[in-house]
Amino acid sequence: MSQSPHMSLADAIAAGVNDNSANDANERLRASIGKVVCVGRNYAAHAEELGNEVPKAPILFMKPASSVVSIRQGVVRPNPALYGETHYEAELCVQLAADLSAATIEEAKQAVGGVTLGLDLTLRELQAELKEKGHPWERAKCFDGACVLGDWLDPQVFGDFTDIHYQLTINDALKQDGDSALMLFPVYELLVNISHAFSLQAGDVIMTGTPSGVGALQAGDQLSLKLGAHEWQAEVK
C-alpha cells in the first residue's frame, strides 16, 4: 500500500483507467493549465455551515497544476486511514484565454475562454488541524487529484455568468445546488479582484467557491455534476 495521496492517485490511474480517451483528455487538460486560483467562502450558506464569517473580500488560495485531473479519470480519495475525510466541494470554474493584470470588468469579460464544473477536494480533518495551528492549507488542498475538472465549455453559452445553475448529486441524492446569482463576489468581479492581487495568465483556472452541502466522499460513491444540459459522472475510488 502506498503512503501518500500522490501514490494512491498514480496507483489508481495505473490500475483502473484503461480508457485511452480519458487519458488523452487528462493530458490535454493538464497541459493547458497554469495555476488554479480558488475562492473560499463565496456563498454565505457555505461559510455558515463551516462556522466561518462571511468575508469582506474574496479569500484566495491556490492549487498547483499537478493537482488537476479530468473527471473522466474518476475521483480518487486519499487513504482515509492516513488522511481522514476527503470532502467534495462542487464549484463553477472558468479558464482564462488571456492574461489579466489589474484588469477592468471589460477586460475580465473578454478573457474567459472556458467554463466547466470542478470538485475542490479537501482533506477536511487535516485542513481543520492546519487552520487551528495557523498554518497554510496546501497539505489539505494540493494533493495530486485534488482539483477535478469537467470538460471546458464555450463561455458564450453562459451569458454574463450571473445566473448559472449547477448541481452535484451523489448516488442520485442531491447534495449541492449551486446558483451563481448567490455568489458573494460574482465571476467578473472575482477576476478583477484577483488580478489586482497578482497577475492571472492565459491557462489559469479559477474555482469560484462552493455552495452549501459539502460532505465526505465514500469509496464507490457515484458522482454526477450537472451544468445546464451537460453532465459528468464519476465513481469515487
Q: Which is nearer to Zn ion, 8 or 210 (CB)?
A: 210
Instruction: State in angstroms the smallest separation of the CB of 23 from Zn ion.
Output: 26
**Please, what sign has the CA dihedral across residues 208, 211, 215, 221?**
negative
Beta-bridge partners for 166: 178, 227
Q: Are 190 and 91 in contact (CB under 8 A)?
A: no
Minimum distance from CB of 190 to Zn ion (Å)? 13
In terms of CB distance, is 13 or 167 closer to Zn ion?
167
Task: Report which of 145, 142, 115, 117 is spatially closest to residue 130, judged by C-alpha positions.
Answer: 142
91 and 83 Cβ atoms separated by less than 8 Å: no
Nearer to Zn ion, 26 or 208 (CB): 208
**Side chain identity at residue 194, one-letter code:** I
Spatial distance between the Cα atoms of 12 and 103, rounded to a whole number of angstroms: 41
The smaller minimum CB distance to Zn ion, of residues 89 and 144, is found at 89
In angstroms, give the least distance from the CB of 82 to Zn ion: 22
Long-range contacts of 22-31 (CB under 8 A, 24+ apart): 22/70, 22/72, 22/73, 23/73, 25/70, 25/72, 25/151, 26/69, 26/70, 26/72, 26/73, 29/68, 29/69, 29/70, 29/149, 30/65, 30/68, 30/69
Provide, rounded to whole angstroms, the least separation between the CB of residue 89 and Zn ion.
4
Please identify the residue of the shown chain whose CB is closest to the bound Zn ion: 120
Distance in Å, CB of 216 to Zn ion, minimum: 15
Site of interaction with Zn ion (CB under 5 A): 89, 120, 210
Secondary structure element (H or E) that encloses residue 130, with its range: helix 124-133
Nearer to Zn ion, 29 or 93 (CB): 93
Considering the complex, what minimum distance in angstroms separates the CB of residue 90 from Zn ion?
9
Judged by beta carbon, residue 124 or residue 226, the one nearer Zn ion is 124
